[in-house]
Amino acid sequence: MTIYIGNLSFQAEQEDLVDLFSQYGEIKHCSLPLDRETGRKRGFAFVEMTNEESEQKAIDDLQEVEWMGRNIRVNKATPREGGRGGDRGGQGRGGNRW
């Protein structure tokens, strides 16, 4: 399971997210996507933890909590459907979309 964190402050860094979520358990992966054209943060992130129970506890505790001046949205990430550019018949860029 992967956690989606939305409404992030644009000042948030990957290390900040690791610090916040590591209070709930070991972090397996953390990503803070950047806009392809501008290189700026997009205002959301994904965190994957090694333990599903820890992930659920983080989701429950951090949902709508004010963090770095914004009320963050924290929930289970779901794979993107469709996406930009239409159907590529499985010939996209490959890899996970998180």
83: in domain = no
For residue 68, give its domain range: 2-76
32: in domain = yes
Average pLDDT (32-51) is: 96
81: in domain = no
8: in domain = yes
Average pLDDT (65-75) is: 97
pLDDT at 3 over 80: yes
Residue 92 confidence (pLDDT): 44
Instruction: Write b or e for each residue in 63-86: b if 16 or more Cβ atoms lie within 10 A of its Cβ, otherwise e.
Output: eeeebeebebebeebeeeeeeeee
pLDDT greater at residue 92 or residue 42: 42
Specify the number of domains making up the chain: 1
CATH code of residue 69: 3.30.70.330
85: in domain = no
